[in-house]
């Protein structure tokens, strides 16, 4: 008897407990940065506590997983097909305040590094396609696309127990580092973290 269905139910619960907490009152969740303003690409002082992710290099050199995702319209994206250019893969969910806070910054990052870095955001919402579509419609992202991972394949693969989780792969499809938890993608630290990989 396969344990996969039971594990599929446990992963989102683990992410809720370890990372974004649904039981936390709404006012305690970091607010998302409004789209279309100068503050889209930078964190405010009040958001700083939410952007304290941990850099992890323990899996450096691991191969990019060969998973395929779809968007709400049915378009497909196979991660392994992205080799040839550095890729930043972000796991997020609509119910995760720090995840939503990061999204405008990731969109700006994708614009700033267009042609040099592919930013792929993959929703870990289970059965919440309409919520993902609504968020993308509201924010009107310039570069991000609403890729869906309803079976949480990436969540199982990365096994960090925390959202957001963001992983950088080099052009050969090898992991460089992962950021576990939210991060200020607009800050100077990001440019430094990307510099070596983008220079190759």
Q: In the prediction, which pLDDT does 48 show?
A: 61
Q: How many domains does the chain have?
A: 1
Is 187 among the domain residues?
A: yes
Is 166 among the domain residues?
A: yes
Is 95 among the domain residues?
A: yes
d(CA 100, CA 104): 8
Q: What is the pTM of this model?
A: 0.79
Q: Do 171 and 200 meet the contact criterion of CB atoms below 8 Å apart?
A: yes
Phi (first) and psi of residue 45, to 5 degrees: -60, -40
Is 8 among the domain residues?
A: yes
Tell me what percent of the residues of the chain surpass a pLDDT of 70: 76
Residue 160 belongs to domain spanning: 4-21+40-199
Is 133 among the domain residues?
A: yes
Q: What residues does 89 pair with on adjacent strands?
A: 120, 167
Interior CA angle at 191 toward 159 and 104, to 5°? Answer: 70
Is 51 among the domain residues?
A: yes
Q: In the prediction, which pLDDT does 200 show?
A: 83
Is 17 among the domain residues?
A: yes
List the structure tokens of 71: 């968007």
Phi (first) and psi of residue 153, to 5 degrees: -60, -40
| CATH label of the domain that carries residue 46 | 3.40.30.10
Q: Fill in the DSSP letter of residue 116.
A: T
Is 178 among the domain residues?
A: yes
Confidence of residue 127 (pLDDT cuts 50, 70, 90): confident
């Amino acid at each position: 008897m396969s344990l996969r269905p039971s594990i599929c139910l446990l992963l989102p619960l683990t992410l809720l407990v370890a990372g974004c907490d649904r039981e936390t009152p709404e006012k305690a969740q970091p607010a998302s940065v409004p789209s279309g303003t100068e503050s889209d690409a930078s964190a405010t002082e009040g958001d700083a506590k939410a952007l304290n992710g941990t850099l992890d290099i323990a899996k450096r050199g691991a191969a990019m997983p060969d998973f395929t995702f779809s968007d709400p319209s049915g378009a497909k994206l196979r991660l392994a097909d992205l080799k040839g250019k550095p890729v930043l893969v972000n796991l997020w969910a609509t119910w995760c305040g720090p995840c939503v806070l990061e999204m405008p910054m990731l969109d700006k990052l994708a614009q700033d590094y267009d042609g040099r870095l592919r930013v792929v955001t993959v929703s870990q919402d289970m059965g919440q396609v309409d919520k993902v579509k609504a968020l993308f419609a509201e924010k009107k992202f310039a570069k991000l696309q609403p890729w869906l991972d309803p079976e949480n394949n990436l969540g199982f693969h990365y096994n960090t127990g925390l959202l957001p989780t963001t992983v950088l792969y080099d052009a050969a499809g090898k992991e460089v580092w992962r950021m576990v938890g939210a991060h200020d993608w607009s800050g100077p630290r990001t440019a430094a973290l990307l510099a070596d990989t983008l220079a190759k």
